[in-house]
Structure 1
Amino acid sequence: MQATAYTYDPETRCGQVLLDDGTPVPFDAAAFDAGGLRLLRPGQRVRIEMEPERGAAADVRVTLVTLQTF
């Protein structure tokens, strides 16, 4: 799935992406590290992978954030 980087904190390696419908979805350091990135700037197009959050049927968590390549 594609999204746009919205926020990123290089100290914690956490942030948020915006889905194409404008929904913000947070990601943690594990998702950032899984993508092999060193830096992320707001506005960059990214590819993300998500899975359902445990215990919450409607919530999802991002498991991977990497740059979108064309």
Structure 2
Amino acid sequence: MQATAYTYDPETRSGSVLLDDGTPVPFDAAAFDAGGLLLLRPGQRVRIETAEDTNGPRITLVTLATL
């Protein structure tokens, strides 16, 4: 699924994305590291993978979207 990078903290390597319906979803350092990225800027289109958690969807991977 695709989303838009919303926030990113390079010190913690965590942040959040906005789904296409505008819903913000946080991601942690493990999801960021799984994508192999070095940096993420707000507004970039990203591809995410999710897994269901007791609190709803949890992002397991964040990487740049390619056309």
Question: Do they fold alike, i.e. is TM over 0.5?
Answer: yes
Residue in structure 2 matched with residue 63 of structure 1 by the alignment: 60
What TM-score does the superposition give when structure 2 sets the normalisation length? 0.98
Asked which structure has the greater CA Rg, the reply is 1
Aligned-pair Cα RMSD in Å: 0.7
Matched positions, count: 67
Q: Structure 1: which 4+ aligned runs deviate by more than 4 Å?
A: none
Paired-residue identity, % = 79
For 1:60 and 1:49, the matched residues in 2 are separated by 10
- Equivalent position of 1:21 in the other structure: 21
Q: Which amino acid aligns with 2:13?
A: R
Instruction: Flag structure 2 segments of 5+ consecutive residues without an equivalent.
Output: none
- TM-score, normalised relative to structure 1: 0.94
